[in-house]
Amino acid sequence: MSNIVHRPFAERFSPAPIISGLQQDGWWTWCGSSIRDDDGRYHLFAARWPQNYKFLPGYQCASEIVRAISDTPQGPYRFVEVVLGDRGPGFWDGRMTHNPVVVRRRDRFLLFYIGTTYDRSRPTAQEVLNGPDFWPWYRQIRIGVAWSDRLEGPWHRPDRPLLEPLPGGWDAHVVTNPSPCLTPDGRLLLYYRTWIPEVGCRLGLAEYGDLDRPPLWRSTEPLFNGSGLTLEDPCVFYLDGHYEMIAKDLNGLTCGELHAGIHLLSRDGRAWQVAPQAKAWTRSIIWEDGAPRRLAHFERPQVLLEAGQPAWIFAAMAEGEDGPKGNFSLLKRTWTGVVPLR
């Protein structure tokens, strides 16, 4: 594995545009996945929910997926429409959609996301502030994939999830944070995150040929099992004959900074090794005016490849106090930010 020819991911970062991506007044904005259409425009899919809701767990009951457009990869992007909104409690994803990632597979666009539902009216912002029990709703989160022949839609939402927790399995509690990667032979690798009581976050993998059928292969134990790695928000891409992953280091023990990024390499997408230069990014971002500013959060990274090379990284960015574990209740502002890669 160590003989994989690669470039340290942190060396790819260029100064970040101060104004980029998507930010909307009155909304928390999170995630962000951009794709170029045949006319050269860029379409950004992101999650948002009203800012009068408590950030966490507000997204669990009120998040929706939207589309915005720009003539350039960095934006700023202009809001166009809600793509996956509330469609009623009778659907598995009827009341919340989140974590969008868009890819093009052959002539079809695929929009991966998570969703959940609940059989009551949407809680008010005050009810969320008072802290109702959202755990049952969280436990019902599943991964789905909508599809369309055009980025402008219409998007066909599935009646059933693509990936669910496996009863009795290591990932029996929840599946979230989908990260798809297309392989050179046409398969689709879907990385995801689960949460295990008394253990924490772990990553899994399901491999697909036909998305209308069950996975060809699914990991029977967590990736990096026994390694001490605790990761979430994976982004995986194929590059020069191998796979690369960047992800959020939840304890900071490997990359050396709490909640910074970690860089991993793989020949087959299943067996992974930490890159020699482990840190993929720091939360102290250098901006185009030359000033470093530390972000409370830099999460859900998505790499946009152009001409087969990483060209841009999109991430959920946030200002506020982060605290030792990342305190979402202290956030002041969030947006989908964009950083150019060398």
The answer as to whether 250 is a domain residue is yes
The pLDDT value recorded for residue 325 is 56
Q: pLDDT averaged over the chain?
A: 94
Greater model confidence, 92 or 200: 92
* Stretch 168-193: mean pLDDT: 97
Q: What is the pLDDT of residues 292-309, one digit of tens each?
A: 899 999 999 999 999 999
The answer as to whether 312 is a domain residue is yes
The answer as to whether 192 is a domain residue is yes
Residue 218 has pLDDT above 80, yes or no: yes
The answer as to whether 2 is a domain residue is no
The answer as to whether 51 is a domain residue is yes
Give 227's DSSP letter.
S
Structure tokens at 271: 């067996």
The answer as to whether 315 is a domain residue is yes
Q: What is the pLDDT of residues 114-138, one digit of tens each?
A: 999 999 888 999 888 887 678 888 9
The pLDDT value recorded for residue 129 is 82
Q: What percent of the chain has pLDDT over 90?
A: 86
* Stretch 194-216: mean pLDDT: 94
The pLDDT value recorded for residue 322 is 63
Strand residue runs (E) in the chain: 27-36, 42-50, 64-70, 78-84, 96-105, 108-116, 142-148, 176-182, 188-196, 200-208, 217-218, 231-239, 242-249, 261-266, 273-281, 284-286, 292-294, 297-306, 309-320, 331-340
Closest CA to 98 of 54, 44, 33, 48: 48
**Domain housing 167:** 9-340
The tally of domains found in the chain comes to 1
The answer as to whether 245 is a domain residue is yes
Q: CA–CA separation, 92 vs 118, rounded Å?
A: 9
The pLDDT value recorded for residue 2 is 58
> Which residues touch 213 (CB under 8 Å, ≥6 apart)?
none
The pLDDT value recorded for residue 323 is 56
Q: What is the pLDDT of residues 13-50, one digit of tens each?
A: 999 999 999 999 999 999 999 999 999 999 999 999 99
> Which residues touch 186 (CB under 8 Å, ≥6 apart)?
209
Amino acid at 275: A
Q: What is the CATH number of the domain that holds 313?
A: 2.115.10.20
Q: CA–CA separation, 269 vs 239, rounded Å?
A: 12
Q: Which residue has the tokens 């793989």?
A: 266
The pLDDT value recorded for residue 121 is 85
Q: CA–CA separation, 183 vs 267, rounded Å?
A: 12
> Which residues touch 267 (CB under 8 Å, ≥6 apart)?
1, 4, 242, 243
